[in-house]
Amino acid sequence: MVTPNGFVVPVVGGEDDAWLVKSPCSNEVTVDGQPIEGAHVVLDPGHGGSETGAIGPNGVSEEDVNLDVALRVKRLLEQRGAVVVMTRATDVRVTIDMRATLAVALQPLAFVSVHHNAGAVRKQSTPGSETYHHLEDPESKRLAGLVYEELIDKLSPYGTDWVVGGDSGAHGRRSLNDGDDFYGILRRTQGIPGVLSESAYLTNPFEERLLDTEQFRESEATAIANAIIRFVSTDDPGGGFIPALESSSDPGGGGGTGGCEDPPLG
């Protein structure tokens, strides 16, 4: 449902004028608001509020780039008639639990979590873009392959001074602790075609400069929007698939409830 001041939050109980919802910080609170029926697409700009995500060498903040790119994807999809919901539409802290609860409640045709990468280890002449899919879901995998294909197509023309962490490509990432998806947002959104996109490396000065321009952000947004449109309207298989990574570390990046302060919802 949508609160009177515009927050979209998942309903967990209650009724008209007294909905029990999960707040951005994952508290259960009672609020007034308008129900919404569902969405074709849910977009999830990573981080926000006191969780900045990656910061580039010249101070460009991942939380801001993620939100701006996602808002551009939303505009492009709405121009095609899609109903699009964002897990956050402002600079606000939102837990991974709340993002996933909202996405699952809305049962979209596609779910894309928008991030930008950090900590690359070597240079490469093509974008080091990575898209992560659910380990065991072929449709999530197809969407990740389409997002990867489109990102490489739209971003490659910007130059050759890219960096890469492990390998660029469309892949899963398995937690060696329990064999499940490594990233919390993917592990909690099983059953809907979900992808986590890491389009470019904010920690590379060349890519940070690009990410600070409207033109590059619009190109990235066009890539993600095109991929979603191809996903729902064609059987295209996507490309760039590489074997799953395996990780035993903590994914980091925040998303928990510690220190989270809810905004007013009414």
Q: Cβ 132 to Zn ion, closest distance in Å?
A: 11
Residue with smaller CB distance to Zn ion, 115 or 133: 115
Residue with smaller CB distance to Zn ion, 142 or 198: 198
Closest residue to Zn ion, judged by C-beta, is: 115
Residue with smaller CB distance to Zn ion, 203 or 219: 203
Q: Cβ 196 to Zn ion, closest distance in Å?
A: 9
Q: Does position 88 bind Zn ion by CB under 5 A? A: no
Residue with smaller CB distance to Zn ion, 39 or 65: 65
Query: What character string, x for contact with Zn ion (CB under 5 A) and - otherwise, covers 99-118?
Result: ----------------x---
Q: Cβ 254 to Zn ion, closest distance in Å?
A: 9
- Distance (Å, rounded) from C-alpha 72 to C-alpha 134? 25
Q: Cβ 264 to Zn ion, closest distance in Å?
A: 26
Residues contacting Zn ion: total by CB under 5 A: 3
Q: Are strands 245-247 and 173-175 parallel, antiparallel or unpaired?
A: parallel
Q: Cβ 192 to Zn ion, closest distance in Å?
A: 20
Contact positions with Zn ion (CB under 5 A) in 26-85: 46, 53
Calculate the alpha carbon distances from 173 to 21, 169, 170, 242 in Å.
Answer: 31, 12, 10, 11
Contact positions with Zn ion (CB under 5 A) in 115-134: 115
Q: Cβ 53 to Zn ion, closest distance in Å?
A: 4
Residue with smaller CB distance to Zn ion, 23 or 117: 117
Residue with smaller CB distance to Zn ion, 3 or 95: 95
- Distance (Å, rounded) from C-alpha 213 to C-alpha 60? 11
Q: Cβ 202 to Zn ion, closest distance in Å?
A: 9
Residue with smaller CB distance to Zn ion, 33 or 48: 48
Q: Please give the residue ranges that form the binding site for Zn ion (CB under 5 A).
A: 46, 53, 115
